[in-house]
Structure 1
Amino acid sequence: MNVAILAFVIDTIIGDPRTKFHPVVLIGRLISLLERFYYRPEESDRRKFLSGSILVLIVLFLTYDVAAALLYLSYYIPWEWGQEIVAAFLLSFTISPQSLAKAGKGIYALLITGDLAEARKKVGWIVGRDTDKLDDSEIARATVETIAENTVDGIISPLFFFAIGGVPLAFLYRAANTMDSMIGYKNEKYLYFGRAAARLDDVLNYIPARLTGLLFVAAASLLGFDAGNALCMMRRDADKHPSPNGGYAEATVAGALHIRLGGINSYFGKKTFRAYMGEAIEATAPKHIMECIRMMYTVTVLFLILVYAVLKFMGH
């Protein structure tokens, strides 16, 4: 458990380094390489699914084994804390609280100073929707949705899999999540080729997403937000999200902050409606970005405390 706490501290202080040698970047390059090798647009849907499944297995196998090999090599470090420090640095690459907070704070600052054009540009870096016509409320909504949802796959899920299987399993999760973000789309190209990646990501996030929702309720209580409404909105609205897991964070945050998430989004000029989550007791505003960041950090600390308590109870 010292490794997870140290990884969180490393991420908080140093953040996620922007380098082409970042493990997640390398995983992404591996996925792209294998996609070029395995994807054939002329193949049948069944063949595309099988090829995509092979890609998934190769990426998972290589990612897990490389992480395990690096840990094995750390055993030869001659000083006492060497192994734990290496493991913590590796684990820190799989989580991103500081990156989420930095992005959110940057957009908040732009909205407060009235720089709407730059805020639209920056929020476009963290969401997939069109942002060139968003007003300040819609920019705040998009940012809160992203921070809330990414609390699951950017923080709690990798820490969850670390808790049950160590650093290699955390990296296996990060590989699965990266595959989903790259090929797990329901479009003509990836509907079948990326289906295994999308389904795997749904399965892996199932428990962490629901646990994150409950932790957001606890965080709301600790921070003085509406914990009762957070729980109510999670139970009422979480399943409205198009993802089987994304709503458990978003609906709960919406309830806690008395805002409404979801609504009309535009993708490549085409407008789509996503079911509402929460009630618009307050208009979504820049302040809600900062409140969501506070909740995100509180959820992270609560999860670390929870895992520590469980391990102590089990005698580890």
Structure 2
Amino acid sequence: MIAAAGLDLLVGDPRWCPHPVIWMGRWITILRAGVERLAGDRPWALRAGGTLITVLLVGASAGCGWCIERAAQPTLSPLFSASGTVLLVIGLASALAARSLRSSVLAVLKALPSSDGGDLSSARQRLSWIVGRQTDGLQEPEILRAAAETASENAVDGLFAPLFWMLVGAGLWQLGWQGGPGPLCLAWAFKASSTLDSMLGYRTGRLRWLGTAGARLDDWLTWLPCRLVMVSLPLICRPWSAWLRLVRAAERDGRPDPSPNAGRSQAIYAHCAGIRLGGRNRYGDRWVNKPVLAGSMPDVNQSAVHRILNLSLALEGAWLLVALMISRLAVAQ
């Protein structure tokens, strides 16, 4: 897992390498077309079809991860086991998004007019690739806020939630359940649910029913990792005496958000980075007033976005260090 985290930070998601999420997305598209053809506009049939898509995709993704884990077992021939281990590390790295998230957010900052050779149209276009809101007409302060919000929200979705499920799988192995689901099996199962939510989890048209199962599963699988980020992030950026105040403030500000996780993840980053997030966003033709987070703090600037990205790197290292220490203590006993 440490090797996978290092590989993710060094390489990220190279375009020349087929990413597992791309294959998940292709199968979602195929299955969605089949379900919609059979279910039509009947809500109960769309819900049933969405549940079937969720079971098939999450189960198949977990099964592929489990097969690679079996190939990496040391009981096999040395050559086969070594090849399986390499695939296992690459697979684990593919489930983490620290490098890709960082690169995408920094690309937006680099395109801003305040940077050399930047312009608003280029910054808006790059921002549109990583956020769900409409970016047309956004000015630099709004672009910076959107970049900070996606950096904080996707830190949980793209990095800490899959890392958490990797740690759970590794813990099961540490407890002696070598034949059960391990880190890659659980990480790919989470990535499948996250991909389902990003592609089908919208309250429009048929997706109001078709995407329900995937969206609910993603909320459930992200619930605990999000809370762990809330309680651990203040420990690496502020005096420990401020821990309870920051956690309470993040819970208070993030609770009104319709998502059980997004508002809280943004809120803890807002308080730890010392910036104000939230406000009015446009999604298609609809305006949404998001809860204001850390309302007494100053607006976002470029250095604040860098702080958020650096906080995520520091917290990832802290999680892995604590996991390593727990693992060593377990082995020693």
Is the TM value for this pair above 0.5?
yes
Give the structure 1 partner of residue 36 of structure 2.
39
Number of corresponding residues: 311
Are positions 1:287 and 2:285 aligned together? no
Q: How far apart are 1:21 and its partner, in Å?
A: 2.3
Are positions 1:234 and 2:250 aligned together? yes
Give the structure 2 partner of residue 127 of structure 1.
131
Question: Which of 265, 272, 276 is matched with 1:256 structurally?
Answer: 272
Structure 1 segment 70-149 matched on structure 2, within 5 A: 70-74=68-72, 75-76=76-77, 78=79, 82-111=83-112, 112-113=114-115, 114-149=118-153
- The amino acid that maps onto 2:148 is V
Q: Distance in 2 between matches of 1:254 and 1:32?
A: 35
Are positions 1:245 and 2:261 aligned together? yes
Secondary structure of the residue that 2:282 maps to in structure 1? Answer: strand
More moved, 97-106 vs 269-278: 269-278
- The amino acid that maps onto 2:286 is K
Question: Which of 183, 192, 198 is matched with 1:181 structurally?
Answer: 198
Q: Distance in 1 between matches of 2:2 and 2:304?
A: 27
More moved, 33-42 vs 97-106: 33-42
Equivalent residues of 1:140, 1:288 under 8 A apart:
no
Q: Distance in 2 between matches of 1:228 and 1:121?
A: 39
- The amino acid that maps onto 1:167 is L
Equivalent residues of 1:104, 1:147 under 8 A apart:
yes
Give the structure 2 partner of residue 273 of structure 1.
289
More moved, 30-39 vs 263-272: 263-272
Q: TM-score, normalised on structure 1?
A: 0.91
- The amino acid that maps onto 1:124 is S
More moved, 56-65 vs 73-82: 73-82
Equivalent residues of 2:68, 2:84 under 8 A apart:
no
Uncovered stretches (5+) of structure 2, i.e. residues with no partner: 170-182
Q: How far apart are 1:296 and its partner, in Å?
A: 1.1
Equivalent residues of 1:94, 1:158 under 8 A apart:
yes
Equivalent residues of 2:149, 2:266 under 8 A apart:
yes
Q: How far apart are 1:80 and its partner, in Å?
A: 7.1
Give the structure 1 partner of residue 172 of structure 2.
none
Secondary structure of the residue that 1:262 maps to in structure 2? Answer: coil
Are positions 1:215 and 2:216 aligned together? no
Equivalent residues of 2:41, 2:206 under 8 A apart:
no
List per-residue Cα deviations over 1:235-266 (Å, max 9, x = no partner): 32121222101122210111122222111101
Give the structure 1 partner of residue 327 of structure 2.
311
Closer, same or farther in 2 for the Cα pair 1:33/1:79, shift >3 Å? closer
More moved, 197-206 vs 69-78: 69-78
Equivalent residues of 1:49, 1:194 under 8 A apart:
yes
Closer, same or farther in 2 for the Cα pair 1:252/1:63, shift >3 Å? same
Uncovered stretches (5+) of structure 1, i.e. residues with no partner: none
Give the structure 1 partner of residue 9 of structure 2.
12
Q: How far apart are 1:234 and its partner, in Å?
A: 1.1
Q: How far apart are 1:164 and its partner, in Å?
A: 1.6
Q: Distance in 2 between matches of 1:269 and 1:186?
A: 14
